[in-house]
Amino acid sequence: MKTIGYAAFDSKSELKPYSFERRDLRENDIAIDIKYCGVCHSDLHQAHNDWHGSMYPLVPGHEIVGIVSDVGSSVKKYKKGDTVAVGCMVDSCQECAPCHDHEEQFCEQGSTQTYNSKDRIDESITYGGYSNHIVVREEFVLDIPKTMDLAKVGPILCAGITTYSPLKEWGVEEGDRVGVIGLGGLGHMAVKLASAMGAHVTVFTTSDKKSKDAIDLGADKVVISKDEEQMKSAAKSLDVIIDTVPVAHDLSPYIQTLDIDGTLILVGAIDEIPPFHAGLLLGGRRRVAASVIGGTERTQEVIDFCAEHNIYPECEMIDMQDINTAFERMKNGDVKYRFVIDMESLKEQA
pLDDT in tens, 57-75: 999 999 999 999 999 999 9
Is pLDDT above 80 for 347? no
Is pLDDT above 60 for 350? no
Q: d(Cα 179, Cα 181) in Å, to the nearest integer? A: 7
Is residue 175 a contact partner of residue 238, using CB atoms and an 8 Å limit?
no
Is residue 257 a contact partner of residue 241, using CB atoms and an 8 Å limit?
yes
Q: CATH fold of 159-290, please?
A: Rossmann fold (3.40.50)
C-beta neighbour count of 343 within 10 angstroms: 26
Q: d(Cα 179, Cα 288) in Å, to the nearest integer? A: 14
311-338 as b/e: b if 16+ CB within 10 A: bbbbbeebebeebeebbebbeeeebebb
pTM (two decimals): 0.95
Q: What is the pLDDT of residue 231?
A: 97
Query: Which residues, in sequence order, are bridge partners of residue 285?
Result: none
What is the band of 348 on the pLDDT scale with cuts at 50, 70, 90? Answer: low
Could you give phi then psi for residue 43, rounded to 5 degrees? -60, -40
Q: What is the CA radius of gyration of the chain?
A: 20
Could you give phi then psi for residue 202, rounded to 5 degrees? -115, 130
Q: d(Cα 20, Cα 41) in Å, to the nearest integer? A: 24
Residues of the chain with CATH 3.90.180.10: 2-155+314-349
Is residue 166 a contact partner of residue 265, using CB atoms and an 8 Å limit?
yes
Taking each helix axis from N to C terminus, what angle separates 185-196 and 159-169, rounded to the nearest 10 degrees?
40
Shortest CA distance to 177 belongs to which of 162, 206, 152, 197? 197
CATH 3.40.630.10 at 2-155+314-349, yes or no: no
Long-range own/partner contacts, residues 283-287 (CB < 8 A, 24 or more apart): 284/236, 284/258, 284/259, 284/260, 285/260, 285/261, 286/255, 286/258, 286/260, 286/261, 286/262, 287/261, 287/262, 287/263
Is pLDDT above 70 for 349? no
Q: d(Cα 215, Cα 210) in Å, to the nearest integer? A: 9
Is pLDDT above 70 for 330? yes
Residues of the chain with CATH 3.40.50.720: 159-290
Could you give phi then psi for residue 321, rounded to 5 degrees? -65, -15
Give the pLDDT confidence of 149-202 residue by residue, as tens digits: 999 999 999 999 999 999 999 999 999 999 999 999 999 999 999 999 999 999
Give the pLDDT confidence of 141-158 residue by residue, as tens digits: 999 999 999 999 999 999
The pLDDT > 90 percentage for the chain reads 95
